[in-house]
């Protein structure tokens, strides 16, 4: 039985018992939609004296839940590890559920108790998120509807990428975004730390990467200088994360079951690195970070051995900072003009028996993959890393194709197609009503209708499609408020694409729930695009 159908049956009982308006107000609005939700008559009333009972291993989630309840419902619930009187430990987080799904959970709300069970702390955490979304928004009491939720995610990689190179966002802003991801059960934060317009991660061995590469003369991109606040004491625009900042953000993410995937772009999009260390380019520079959006000749020399030593040193520090299994090395949009003219690159090409410069990119990425593996990590790269021969165990992040070919060749793939997952695109066709965006058109409904599994991919390769990710390229987003505007509500739709069963998607029901979610975001101080043009009666099919 489909969850929405179950919901209607039970909701009608509630309507009879309690009157339709009340029942409507209490209708669960969990995003992403759980696998199954049964709504039962009655509700659980949250009391100030309640305690959260955490079984061994569940304490961290219990403290998180307590903090979020304090934030959202102004109640202060203690966490206990030994059961007290039944009337006190009415909220229970219990590890050891037989549910085989590592991120799955069961949430039972009855008039006398709230019980979340899961096999892992991640599962408990997701159960806690669903519980938080059952709290009424803006109501005077804290009545939580009685439900039985059985849930687990569809995909393993539920991602969001933030570009902090085009504009710099503070550690606190990044942590706020991690919170917002966690509320929607996303689990992969792809941190685009490096691009032409700024290098954002402290590397102790190469201090000029941030001393010079983290800064521009001006905000750039034709923006009003006052549109952003990321100015250094000397008036230059930019900033970077110290290694302590990085450790703090990684720990903050870990506490929310989010893996951080750092991206260190190479061999292209490397003007910031080469401004600081031009000896690793073909031409010797000079390079600048004061660039508009686009593709530039800030490309590492693929013929120079020292380039690989430099990259290895950087990867050594990066690997030590990020405990997750992946390092993203970019690999997109590499112009080969310099490589064509460079004697060292040409000598490499001939020595390796390569026919053309695109194969030199394949050589570059395969060499870097060996370095990544030597640091115990797995390499992720954009679509283009396939072009010169794919590195042995690379994971492909598909933005312009290649998913089916990569998956059938046994490679893992993250789906992030330009048409459906680029949150830098406009949310309306009427640009006069929107803040400036890079172009394109990606309305909420299109994200909601996106299907990550490539059509015709044989079933035996489908496990290689790890999931889907939204990308927030920030050329025209100089403030965090603007980032949130571009992220929400579209991230709600992506969360559902990644988490919920494929056949559960129902646009009208999503519209109801996304309205509730935006009301929650309002109370939590998260900026988002208005839903005033949301059309729940829109016909099926792509907008």
Minimum gap (Å) between residue 167 Cβ and Zn ion: 31
Site for ligand ACM in 276-335 (CB under 6 A): 332-333
Per CB under 6 A, 405 contacts ligand ACM: no
Site track for Zn ion across 328-367, x = CB under 5 A = --------------x-xx----------------------
Q: Which does 220 bind (CB under 5 to 8 A by kind): Zn ion, ligand ACM, none?
A: none
Per CB under 6 A, 175 contacts ligand ACM: no
Per CB under 6 A, 399 contacts ligand ACM: yes
Residues counted in the chain = 543
The count of chain residues that interact with ligand ACM, using the rule CB under 6 A, is 4
- Give the bridge partners for 92, in sequence order: 53, 115
Q: Which of residues 278 and 435 has its CB atom nearest to Zn ion in the complex?
A: 278
Which tokens go with 211? 């001393």
Catalytic-role residue among 333, 359, 387, 405:
333
Which tokens go with 139? 């109501």
402: which residues sit within 8 A by CB, 6+ positions away? 383, 386, 396, 413
Q: Which does 128 bind (CB under 5 to 8 A by kind): ligand ACM, Zn ion, none?
A: none
Whether 333 sits among the annotated catalytic residues: the reply is yes
**Is 240 in contact with 165 (CB distance < 8 Å)?**
no
Minimum gap (Å) between residue 397 Cβ and ligand ACM: 7
Q: Which does 303 bind (CB under 5 to 8 A by kind): Zn ion, ligand ACM, none?
A: Zn ion
**Contact window for Zn ion (CB under 5 A) among 117-125, 269-277, 303-311, 518-526:** 303-311
Minimum gap (Å) between residue 276 Cβ and Zn ion: 18
Q: Which does 290 bind (CB under 5 to 8 A by kind): ligand ACM, Zn ion, none?
A: none
- Give the bridge partners for 465, in sequence order: 413
Per CB under 5 A, 301 contacts Zn ion: yes
Which of the 8 DSSP states describes residue 356?
A: S
Per CB under 6 A, 382 contacts ligand ACM: yes
Site track for Zn ion across 183-202, x = CB under 5 A = --------------------
Q: How far is CA 265 from CA 111, 284, 302, in A?
A: 53, 19, 14
- Please give the Cα distance from 339 to 303 (Å, whole number): 8
- Laid out side by side, the sheet with 78-80 consists of 36-45, 143-151, 105-110, 113-118, 91-95, 51-54, 78-80
Whether 50 sits among the annotated catalytic residues: the reply is no
- Please give the Cα distance from 108 to 184 (Å, whole number): 19
Catalytic-role residue among 269, 328, 411, 528:
269
Per CB under 6 A, 38 contacts ligand ACM: no
Minimum gap (Å) between residue 199 Cβ and Zn ion: 20
- Please give the Cα distance from 75 to 61 (Å, whole number): 17
Q: Which of residues 471 and 479 has its CB atom nearest to ligand ACM in the complex?
A: 471
Minimum gap (Å) between residue 528 Cβ and ligand ACM: 23
Which tokens go with 212? 């010079």
**Is 198 in contact with 474 (CB distance < 8 Å)?**
no
**DSSP of 417-429:** -HHHHBTTEESSS
Q: Which does 252 bind (CB under 5 to 8 A by kind): Zn ion, ligand ACM, none?
A: none
Catalytic-role residue among 97, 195, 317, 475:
195
Burial class (CB in 10 A: 0-12, 13-18, 19+), 307: buried
Whether 269 sits among the annotated catalytic residues: the reply is yes
C-alpha torsion angle, residues 165, 382, 262, 479 (rounded to 10) = 30
Q: Which does 359 bind (CB under 5 to 8 A by kind): Zn ion, ligand ACM, none?
A: none
Which of the 8 DSSP states describes residue 288?
A: -
**DSSP of 497-517:** HHHS-GGG--HHHHHHHHHHH
Q: Which does 344 bind (CB under 5 to 8 A by kind): Zn ion, ligand ACM, none?
A: Zn ion
Minimum gap (Å) between residue 281 Cβ and Zn ion: 7
Site track for Zn ion across 248-287, x = CB under 5 A = ----------------------------------x-----
Q: Which does 333 bind (CB under 5 to 8 A by kind): ligand ACM, Zn ion, none?
A: ligand ACM
| Element of type H or E holding 237 | strand 237-238
Candidates 127, 180, 109; CA nearest to 520 is 180
Task: Tell me the Cα Rg of the chain.
Answer: 24
Chain residues that interact with Zn ion, rule: CB under 5 A: 282, 301, 303, 342, 344-345
Residues with catalytic roles: 195, 269, 333
Chain residues that interact with ligand ACM, rule: CB under 6 A: 332-333, 382, 399
């Amino acid at each position: 039985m489909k969850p929405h159908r179950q919901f209607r049956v039970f909701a009608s009982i509630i309507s009879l018992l309690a009157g339709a308006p009340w029942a409507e107000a209490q209708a669960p609005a969990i995003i992403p939609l759980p696998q199954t939700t049964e709504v039962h008559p009655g509700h659980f009333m949250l009391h100030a004296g309640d305690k959260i009972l955490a079984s061994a291993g569940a304490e961290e989630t219990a403290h998180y839940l307590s903090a979020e309840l304090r934030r959202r419902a102004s109640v202060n619930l203690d966490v206990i590890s030994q059961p007290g009187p039944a009337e006190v430990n009415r909220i229970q987080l219990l590890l050891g559920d037989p549910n085989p799904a590592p991120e799955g959970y069961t949430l039972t709300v009855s008039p006398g108790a709230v019980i979340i069970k899961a096999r892992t702390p991640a599962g408990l955490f997701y159960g806690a998120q669903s519980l938080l979304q059952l709290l009424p928004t803006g109501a005077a009491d804290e009545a939580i509807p009685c439900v039985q939720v059985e849930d687990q995610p569809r995909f393993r990689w539920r991602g969001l990428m933030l570009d902090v190179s085009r504009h710099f966002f503070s550690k606190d802003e990044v942590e706020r975004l991690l919170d917002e991801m966690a509320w929607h059960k996303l689990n992969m934060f792809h941190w685009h730390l490096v691009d032409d317009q700024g290098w954002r991660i402290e590397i102790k061995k190469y201090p000029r990467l941030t001393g010079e590469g983290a800064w521009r003369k001006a905000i750039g991109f034709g923006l009003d200088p006052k549109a952003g606040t990321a100015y250094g004491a000397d008036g230059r625009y930019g900033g970077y994360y110290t290694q302590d900042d990085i450790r703090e953000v990684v720990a903050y993410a870990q506490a929310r079951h989010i893996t951080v995937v750092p991206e260190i772009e190479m061999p292209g999009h490397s003007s910031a690195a080469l401004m600081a260390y031009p000896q690793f380019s073909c031409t010797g520079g000079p390079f600048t970070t004061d660039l508009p959006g686009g593709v530039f000749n800030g490309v590492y020399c693929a013929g120079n051995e020292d380039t690989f030593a430099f990259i290895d040193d950087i990867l050594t520090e990066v690997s030590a900072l990020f405990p997750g299994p992946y390092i993203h090395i970019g690999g997109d949009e590499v112009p080969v003009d310099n490589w064509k003219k460079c004697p060292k690159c040409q000598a490499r090409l001939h020595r390796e028996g390569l026919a053309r410069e695109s194969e030199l990119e394949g050589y570059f990425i395969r060499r870097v993959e060996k370095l990544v593996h030597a640091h115990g990590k797995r390499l992720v790269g954009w679509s283009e890393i396939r072009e010169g021969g794919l590195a042995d165990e690379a994971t492909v992040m598909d933005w312009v194709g290649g998913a089916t070919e990569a998956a059938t060749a046994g490679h893992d793939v993250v789906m992030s197609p330009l048409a459906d997952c680029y949150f830098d695109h406009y949310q309306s066709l009427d640009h006069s009503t929107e803040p400036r965006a890079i172009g394109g058109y990606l309305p909420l409904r299109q994200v909601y209708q996106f299907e990550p599994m490539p059509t015709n991919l044989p079933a035996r390769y489908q496990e290689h499609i790890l999931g889907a990710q939204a990308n927030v390229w920030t050329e025209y987003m100089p403030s965090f408020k603007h980032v949130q505007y571009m992220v929400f509500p579209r991230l709600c739709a992506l969360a559902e694409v990644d988490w919920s069963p494929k056949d559960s998607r129902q646009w009208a029901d999503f519209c109801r729930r996304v309205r509730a979610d935006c009301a929650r975001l309002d109370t939590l101080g998260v900026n988002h695009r208005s839903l005033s043009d949301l059309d729940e009666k829109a016909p099926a099919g792509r907008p």
